Chain A
Amino acid sequence: MHDIETALSDIERIRDQLAATTRFRGFTPSIAATTGLLALALAMVQSLQPGLTNDIRLHFAAWILLAIICACLIGTDAVVRARALHRGMAESMIGTTLRQFMPAGAAGAVCALVLLVRAPDAAWLLPGLWQLLIALGIFAALSNLPRRMIWAAGCYFLCGSLTLALSSAMTPPPPWAMGIPFGFGQLLVAAILHDAGKRCGHG
């Protein structure tokens, strides 16, 4: 019985090793593109209805709600797709990917909570910080993502830096400080996933 348990734990270890070095194919271009278009749509609504964004908490509540919707869309799709494509490795790969993205996601949530509750005057920092954190999340997961995803991470990093530099002390920050980086950033992510899918012969 002990030998069987040892062998089972060896298999688990090999599977984890395989999962850690295999490209995660749970993300789909269509979902990434949808989240980008949603970001552009929200920025457009906010810029056409400035009254909606006068209250900084209301302004960011809309973006936080959109981020939660997008995370649910991407997460659900990724779990379903990963279970179908990666079969036995799926749980391990989902766990690895979550561990790579979670620190950035948690840091983004803490920044939002602290700035909006304790220092709303400094909330103009949020768009730039969120973009930098998304960049860090993608950089952390690069080993399990298509190689070209480094361009998306670089793009988010550059946008985050520029947004921080250009929107300093603008309260509330212009809607396009969120809409352009996240909209086009996610469309770039979708294009890279689409290209990687074609190269692998998977959709």
Chain B
Amino acid sequence: MMRASGADMAEDRKSAPFAYDGLDRIFHEKARLGILTSLSGQPKGIGFTELRELCGLTDGNLSRHVQVLEEAGLIAVHKGYEGKRPHTLCQLTDQGRARFADYLDVLEQVLRNAARVTRGDGASERAASPKPA
């Protein structure tokens, strides 16, 4: 998936302030958001079983989402053994950290805009003074 550069995103914000191109679809899915949030505080990664419990997913569901995230280069999956039992470790990659941080910036912007609209401010104000990403 192609990602827009910072300059492109700033230009898009001016022309289409509510386009939110930075809301990457890979992140913008409930289960994947849960997986990435769980991994974000664990630099050494989390085992598959623990991740499944943290996110409340079934084995099949978690495998599918982990595969999507791994193919996008956002997480690394290490398969090994813990004693005699197979053990799968999932870990956020450097690229995954950077892109997840960018995604959080856009998500925060969406919420701040919503808060402004709720308070009765116009969209023009948002377009005029976007929070730097």
A residues sitting closer than 8 Å to B (CB atoms) are 1, 4-5, 7-8, 11, 14-15, 17-18, 20-23, 86-89, 143, 200
Supposing A4-B118, A21-B42 touch, asked if A14 and B111 sit within 8 A by C-beta, the answer is no
**Bound CA–CA A8/B116 (angstroms):** 13
Say whether B123 faces chain A, with CB atoms less than 8 Å apart.
no
Asked if A143 contacts B43 (CB within 8 A), the reply is: yes
Asked if B111 contacts A18 (CB within 8 A), the reply is: no
Asked if A1 contacts B41 (CB within 8 A), the reply is: no
**Bound CA–CA A151/B94 (angstroms):** 23
- A15 contacts which chain B residues (CB < 8 A)? 101, 104
Chain A nearest Cβ from B111, distance in angstroms: 5
B100-114: which residues lie under 8 A (CB-CB) from chain A?
100-102, 104-105, 107-108, 111-112, 114
Say whether B133 faces chain A, with CB atoms less than 8 Å apart.
yes
Chain A nearest Cβ from B105, distance in angstroms: 4
Chain A nearest Cβ from B73, distance in angstroms: 13
Asked if A22 contacts B97 (CB within 8 A), the reply is: yes
Supposing A87-B102, A87-B133 touch, asked if A21 and B40 sit within 8 A by C-beta, the answer is yes
How many of chain B's residues have a CB under 8 angstroms from any CB in A?
A: 21
- A20 contacts which chain B residues (CB < 8 A)? 41
**Bound CA–CA A18/B115 (angstroms):** 24
Asked if A89 contacts B101 (CB within 8 A), the reply is: yes
- B115 contacts which chain A residues (CB < 8 A)? 1, 4-5, 8
Asked if A14 contacts B42 (CB within 8 A), the reply is: no
Asked if A14 contacts B104 (CB within 8 A), the reply is: yes
Chain A nearest Cβ from B97, distance in angstroms: 5
Supposing A15-B104, A88-B133 touch, asked if A7 and B111 sit within 8 A by C-beta, the answer is yes
Asked if A14 contacts B118 (CB within 8 A), the reply is: no
Supposing A4-B114, A200-B94 touch, asked if A17 and B41 sit within 8 A by C-beta, the answer is yes
Q: Is the interface of B mostly helix, strand, loop or mixed?
A: helix
**Bound CA–CA A20/B37 (angstroms):** 13
Supposing A18-B100, A87-B102 touch, asked if A11 and B118 sit within 8 A by C-beta, the answer is no
Asked if B108 contacts A8 (CB within 8 A), the reply is: yes
Asked if A88 contacts B111 (CB within 8 A), the reply is: no
Supposing A11-B108, A87-B133 touch, asked if A18 and B97 sit within 8 A by C-beta, the answer is yes
Asked if A14 contacts B105 (CB within 8 A), the reply is: no
Subset of 14 A-B contacts with CB under 8 Å: A8-B108, A8-B111, A8-B115, A11-B108, A15-B101, A15-B104, A17-B41, A21-B41, A22-B101, A87-B101, A88-B104, A88-B108, A88-B133, A89-B101
* 4 interchain residue pairs of minimum CB distance: A88-B105, A17-B41, A21-B43, A18-B40
- B43 contacts which chain A residues (CB < 8 A)? 21-22, 143
Asked if A11 contacts B104 (CB within 8 A), the reply is: yes
Closest to B37 in A: A14
**Bound CA–CA A87/B104 (angstroms):** 11
Asked if A18 contacts B101 (CB within 8 A), the reply is: yes
Asked if A86 contacts B101 (CB within 8 A), the reply is: yes
In addition to A4-B111, A143-B43, 6 A-B residue pairs with Cβ atoms within 8 Å of each other are A8-B111, A11-B107, A17-B41, A18-B97, A21-B40, A22-B97
